[in-house]
Structure 1
Amino acid sequence: MQHIRWGILSSAAIAENQMVPAIKEASNAVLKAVASQSGKAAETAEKWGAEKAHDSYEALLKDPEIDAVYIPLPNSLHKEWVIKSMNHQKHVLVEKPAAVTSNDIHEIREAGKATGMTWMEGFMYQFHPQHDYVREVMDSGTIGTIKRIRSSFSFPLDLAAKNIRLDADLGGGSLYDVGCYCVHICRHLLRQEPTHVFSAARKIENINVDISTTGLLNFNDVDCVIDCSFDEAALNRYEVVGSRGRIEVPYAFRPDQNPQGGNGEVIVKDKEGIVQEHRFFEGNQFTNQIAHFSECLLEGKDPVYTPESTHNNMKVIEAMYASQN
């Protein structure tokens, strides 16, 4: 079977902990090279089991043995390196958010068209099978007419520490970092875009980023309430509320953190709140994402998550930020 030869730009923790194992587990992918500008490229390549090490991102992009790159750089650097990668004839999987403005994403889309390269924003959670089942239940009418979605993604962060998530110049902020998932799941489940958007944020002195954001997205007859935070206890969940019941997904975005074996979990309740179904779903969403993107490149298909949807997600986030001013 053919393989997509992957390169990784930077030695970020998410690459080491999630994406390197995913590339190794996917049957149609192989980790070929890593690039680090910290002087630790060789050390990182040996640790990760990559065949090649490059001491600059440009050197990796010039490597003819690389088909696709994964980019987990700070948010503000995404546009630059996605476009550079495609200009070097590399396909790209870029961490979310793909950029920090919708105009930047438009430029990425145009670069993709001009170069013929495929790119995708890394919302890995959508490749877990638990969400397909949620859609099945919604479409079946089991919980009646959909009225509301509530989605939360938070974790406690040391707000006194130096962290790229708290640096406005690097695209920091809780909405960019984790709230983007909450926005995406509402759009993903409803298969439409919101008509009205409102949000409010909490900030702390001297840090010009939101450490917590609460938002309301209106999708015609469905209201979606989202919240995200760097200053609250860990939570990553959503629930879909209908006229005759509800669906709860307690480990929506990181099912690997579920103490119940690291599995996805979907709970269906009736209108009285009595559990009617409680199912667990196995699957590594990171591996599934790599396998899907690699398959698309090998077979010349478009990824299920499109540049248009990426653009639309960022337009919602921009509108939420604008409403805070």
Structure 2
Amino acid sequence: MSAVRWGVLTTARIAQDRFLPAMQKARNAAVSAISSPSGRAADVAARFGIPTVYTSHEELLADPSIEAVYLPFPNGLHAKWIVEAAEAGKDILCEKPLVGSLEDYALVVEACERNGVSLMEAFMYRFHPQHQKVREFIDAGRIGQVVSMHARFHFVMDRSQGDVRLQTGLEGGAVNDVGCYAIDIMNMVMGRLPSSVYAKGTSPTDHVETSVAAILDYDGVLGTFDCGFEGPRTNTFQIIGTKGQITLDKAFDPDPGDPARVTVSLRDGSTEVFDIAEDPFKVEIERFSVWARNAGHEVVHRELTEQNLAVRLAIQESLASGLPRNVEPVHPVEHHLLQEQ
């Protein structure tokens, strides 16, 4: 298969630090163009050997040679550019979280279905093989029945540059930036939504929550997470079972060259350690490139995307009210029809 020709919209930090270096290692994909109205695209293109530079995103989307696009915009701009890319007939890999409202989700799903393009929320961590190992252990009953899950994702944010994740109106905040990983992995382990959530957050100097803790009730299994922009850097996940526990020391953002460690500790005192190295961005790019060429056009991992949105909406309600909130499943088609009535 010839390499899928990608376009990258914006010169966002995540594109430069992780996506473009991973693209250089991908076996079935290549970046053909990058766009930015800021004037920085030429420098980025020179660094990564990208042949075409556009000074507007619209020009890139109009390029008929581009098959798939990567959208690392601020969260609040995702829906607009997903629709623009869909209208241009491009398959779309959009940074997480995909959107922040039912209205926007219905909008982007309708645009992608109408234009026959694939859409995927870029939770790159799912593609790290450590999570396949965890699934194998759970399915094999190594730790017995799952009792509880606990996730942490923190880092120190440099606020001197006016980070977009702290700006109101762009759907930033700790839950949308890092808490969404914890939500996603617990939904993935359980294979279903929690019935309710309870969250508390702090926002000492900003208009968005910069530190959040939450309880997710899976009716017999409790999940907890805490996340924030205060540090120290940590991204861990632990699954407690009746016979043992599984601990991931770099669950969500392992560096490409460093192994992620999976530790299985059993009730009899025995321990097994597995060090697994991979660049999840590279695997994500390769998998989506295959889907873009060969699969039926769809929202890839649609159930997980809808579950994540449902939980985030309930958490935002809980943060606003100070009370537990039930989690309501997302039904984008029904919501879209209601909006038209």
- TM norm. shorter chain > 0.5: yes
What is the aligned-residue identity percentage? 34
For 1:139, the aligned partner's letter is D
Distance 2:299 2:279 in 1: 17
1:310 corresponds, among 283, 305, 309, to 305
Counterpart code for 2:209: D
Aligned counterparts of 1:238 and 1:317: Cα–Cα separation in 2? 19
Please state whether the residue corresponding to 1:25 is helix, strand or coil: coil
Match of 1:241 in 2: 240
Tell me the equivalent position of 2:258: 262
Equivalent position of 1:132 in the other structure: 132
| Counterpart Cα distance in 2 of 1:277 and 1:303 | 39
Q: Secondary structure at the match of 1:204?
A: coil
**Contact 2:119 2:300 survives alignment (8 Å):** no
Partner of 1:220: 219
Superposed CA RMSD in Å reads 1.6
Question: What is the identity, as a one-letter code, of the residue corresponding to 1:324?
Answer: L
Asked whether 1:319 is paired with 2:318, we answer: no
Task: Encode CA deviations 1:116-145: one digit per residue, 9 max, x unaligned.
Answer: 000100000000000011011111111111
Superposed CA deviations along residues 32-55 of structure 1, whole A, max 9, x for unmatched, are: 000011023323222221110000
Corresponding letter in the other structure for 2:9: L
Match of 2:277 in 1: 282
User: Which deviates more from structure 2 when the two are superposed, residues 135-144 or residues 285-294?
Assistant: 135-144
SS of residue matched to 2:262: strand
Are the aligned partners of 1:134 and 1:247 in contact in 2 as well (CA < 8 Å)? yes
* Structure 1: gaps of 5 or more residues: none
> How many Å apart are 1:153 and its aligned residue?
0.5
Q: TM-score, normalised by structure 1?
A: 0.95
- Larger mean CA deviation between 94-103 and 4-13 belongs to 94-103
The alignment partner of 2:24 has SS state of helix
Amino acid at match of 2:247: E
Tell me if the contact between 1:296 and 1:303 (Cα under 8 Å) persists in the aligned partners: no
Query: Relative to structure 2, which stretch is displaced further, 52-61 or 105-114?
Result: 105-114
Contact 2:117 2:297 in 1 (8 A): no
Aligned residue number for residue 151 of structure 2: 151
Q: Please, which moves more after superposition, 63-72 or 94-103?
A: 94-103
The aligned counterpart of 1:107 is 107
Shift of 1:226: 0.8
Please give the alpha-carbon distance, in whole angstroms, between the structure 2 residues aligned to 1:221 and 1:24.
45
1:307 Cα deviation from its structure 2 partner: 2.8
| 2:6–2:32 Cα contact (<8 Å) kept | yes
Q: Is the 8 A contact 1:212 1:230 kept in 2?
A: yes
1:112, distance to aligned residue in structure 2 (A): 1.1
Cα deviation code 1:209-250 (max 9, x no counterpart): 000010111112110001101013111010000011100001
Runs in 1 of length 4+ with deviation above 3 angstroms?
A: 158-161, 301-305
On the 8 A contact 1:75/1:170 being kept in 2, the answer is yes
Distance 2:100 2:283 in 1: 26
CA contact (8 A) 1:91 1:119 kept: yes
SS of the residue 1:227 aligns to: strand
Distance 2:24 2:303 in 1: 29
Partner SS, residue 142 of structure 2: coil
Distance, in Å, in 1 between the alignment partners of 2:87 and 2:167 is: 28
Residue in 2 that maps onto 1:118: 118
CA contact (8 A) 1:71 1:95 kept: yes
Q: Deviations over 1:266-297 (max 9, x none)?
A: 1000126x442101112110000000000111
Change over 3 Å in CA distance of 1:249–1:179 after alignment to 2: same
The aligned length equals 320
Q: Does the CA-based 8 Å contact 1:69-1:92 persist in structure 2?
A: yes
The letter for the 1-side match of 2:259 is N
Q: Which residue of structure 1 aligns with residue 337 of structure 2?
A: none
SS at match of 1:209: coil
Q: After superposing the two structures, state which structure 1 stretch, 173-182 or 157-166, moved more.
A: 157-166
Aligned letter for 1:232? G
Offset from partner CA, 1:5-54 (integer Å, 9 cap, x none): 00000011111111112222111101100001102332322222111000
Q: Which of 256, 266, 271 in structure 1 is aligned with 2:267?
A: 271
Q: Is the 8 A contact 1:152 1:236 kept in 2?
A: yes
Q: 1:161 to 1:51 in 2, by over 3 A?
A: closer
Q: Which residue of structure 1 aligns with residue 67 of structure 2?
A: 67
Moved more, 158-167 or 283-292: 158-167
> In the aligned structure 1, how far is the partner of 2:314 from the partner of 2:291?
32
Q: 2:222 is aligned with what amino acid? A: D
CA distance in 2, matches of 1:39, 1:109: 32
